[in-house]
C-alpha cells in the first residue's frame, strides 16, 4: 500500500468511490486507523476538546497542535495527514496563513492543511495553495466562527443553501483539493457535491457527500455526549471504564500483579 495523495481522493470521486476520514491526535490511534485502511486522517483543532479539555476550539494554538501532528505522521505510514489551521493562525492576513501553514508542513510534517470559511477566506486558500501546500476547505457550520454564527446550528437551511454553495465554490475555485461540509442539510450537501469537481467530506451533511469525517472519540463512543449526526461504532468508554474498575479491584484484592507478571 502506498501513501494516499490528494490526487487519489480526486480519482475516487471521479470513480464514484466513497471513503472515510477520521480525526487522530496521537501515534497509536493513527497507526490503528492507518492499518484499518482509513486513507486520510485529520489532526483537527477539535483536539481543543478531545485532547486538551477546552470548552471550544478557539483557545487551541499551533504550539498545541504541532506535537500532535508529528505524532500522527509518525504513526501513520499510509494515510494522508491533514492538519487544521487553528483559530488565530490565519485570520490576520494571507501572509499569516502561509506562515502558519508552512509551520504545519515543515515542523509538523503534515501533508495538507485545512482552514475554515468560504467566500470570506478564499484568498487565504489561494495564498496557501500558491505556496505549494494542499488545502482542504471547511464550510457550512465552522466551529471557529461559533460566536458569529450564534452557536452550533445547521447552516444552509432554506434560502441560506445558496450561501453554502457559494462558499464551497469559492474555496474550490481558490484551489482547495477538497471541502468539508459541516452541519448542512443533506439536500444542500448533495447539490454542492454534484456542483464541485473536487470531493466533499461531510460531517452532519447526509450520505450524498463523496466522503465522511468523524471525530474518533465520537465514532468510537469515548466522548460522553455527542451530536445527533454521530453514530457510535464502538463503546470504548464502557470498555475502558470496565477495565479501570477491574484493574483497581484486582489491585485492591491482591490478585494483580500475579506471579506471571512479576520478576
Ligand atoms: O477539528 C475537527 O475535528 C474538524 C472535523 C470535525 C471536520 O474540523
Ligand atoms: Na476543525
pLDDT at 16 over 90: yes
Residue 37: per-residue pLDDT: 98
Q: How far is the CA of 9 from the CAs of 96, 198, 245, in angstroms? A: 28, 8, 43
Determine the average pLDDT of the residues in 194-198. Answer: 98
229-262 pLDDT, tens digit per residue, is 999 999 999 999 999 999 999 999 999 999 999 9
Residues with CB under 6 A from ligand 1: 23, 42, 44-46, 84, 180, 182, 203, 213, 215
Residue 40 near residue 21, CB atoms below 8 Å: yes
Mean pLDDT over the full length of the chain: 98
Q: Active site includes 182? A: yes
Residue 116 marked as a ligand binder: yes
Residue 19: per-residue pLDDT: 98
Q: What is the DSSP string of 97-116?
A: HHHHHHHHHHTT--SEEE--
Where residue 25 falls among pLDDT bands split at 50, 70, 90? very high
Least Cα distance to 222 among 235, 231, 213 occurs for 235
Q: Which atom of ligand 1 is nearest to the CA of 46?
A: 1
Q: Which residue out of 91, 182, 246, 250 is catalytically annotated?
A: 182
Residue 161: per-residue pLDDT: 97
Least Cα distance to 93 among 58, 123, 116, 130 occurs for 123
Where residue 217 falls among pLDDT bands split at 50, 70, 90? very high
Residue 1: per-residue pLDDT: 85
Q: Atom 5, ligand 1: which residue's CA is nearest?
A: 44
Where residue 39 falls among pLDDT bands split at 50, 70, 90? very high
Determine the average pLDDT of the residues in 38-57. Answer: 98
Residue 26: per-residue pLDDT: 99
Pairing of strands 178-182, 19-23: unpaired
Domain ranges of the chain: 6-232, 235-263
Count other Cβ atoms within 10 Å, centred on residue 172: 23
Residue 241: per-residue pLDDT: 98
pTM equals 0.98
Determine the average pLDDT of the residues in 71-88. Answer: 98
pLDDT at 225 over 90: no
Question: Considering the chain, what percentage of its residues have pLDDT values greater than 90?
Answer: 98
Distance 28 CA to ligand 2 centre (A): 20
pLDDT at 199 over 90: yes
Domain 6-232 superfamily per CATH = Phosphoenolpyruvate-binding domains (3.20.20.60)
Residue 127: per-residue pLDDT: 99
Where residue 224 falls among pLDDT bands split at 50, 70, 90? confident
Amino acid at each position: 500500500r502506498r501513501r494516499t495523495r490528494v490526487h487519489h481522493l480526486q480519482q475516487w470521486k471521479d470513480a464514484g468511490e466513497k471513503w472515510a476520514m477520521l480525526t487522530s491526535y496521537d501515534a497509536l490511534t493513527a497507526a490503528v486507523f492507518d492499518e484499518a485502511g482509513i486513507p486520510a486522517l485529520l489532526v483537527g483543532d477539535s483536539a481543543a476538546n478531545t485532547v486538551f479539555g477546552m470548552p471550544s476550539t478557539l483557545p487551541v494554538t499551533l504550539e498545541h497542535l504541532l506535537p500532535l501532528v508529528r505524532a500522527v505522521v509518525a504513526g501513520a505510514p499510509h494515510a494522508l495527514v491533514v492538519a487544521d489551521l487553528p483559530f488565530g493562525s490565519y485570520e490576520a492576513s494571507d501572509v499569516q496563513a502561509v506562515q502558519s501553514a508552512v509551520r504545519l508542513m515543515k515542523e509538523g510534517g503534515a501533508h495538507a492543511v485545512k482552514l475554515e470559511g468560504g467566500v470570506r477566506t478564499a484568498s487565504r486558500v489561494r495564498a496557501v495553495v500558491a505556496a505549494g501546500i494542499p488545502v482542504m476547505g471547511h464550510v457550512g457550520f465552522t466551529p471557529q466562527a461559533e460566536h458569529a454564527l450564534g452557536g452550533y446550528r445547521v447552516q444552509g437551511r432554506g434560502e441560506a443553501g445558496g450561501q453554502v454553495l457559494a462558499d464551497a465554490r469559492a474555496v474550490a475555485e481558490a484551489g482547495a483539493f477538497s471541502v468539508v461540509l459541516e452541519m448542512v442539510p443533506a439536500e444542500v450537501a448533495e447539490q454542492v457535491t454534484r456542483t464541485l469537481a473536487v470531493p466533499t467530506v461531510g460531517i452532519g451533511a447526509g450520505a450524498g457527500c463523496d466522503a465522511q469525517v468523524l471525530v474518533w472519540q465520537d465514532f468510537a463512543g469515548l466522548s460522553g455526549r455527542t451530536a445527533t449526526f454521530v453514530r457510535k461504532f464502538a463503546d470504548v468508554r464502557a470498555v475502558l471504564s470496565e477495565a479501570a474498575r477491574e484493574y483497581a479491584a484486582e489491585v485492591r484484592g491482591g490478585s494483580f500483579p500475579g506471579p506471571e507478571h512479576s520478576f
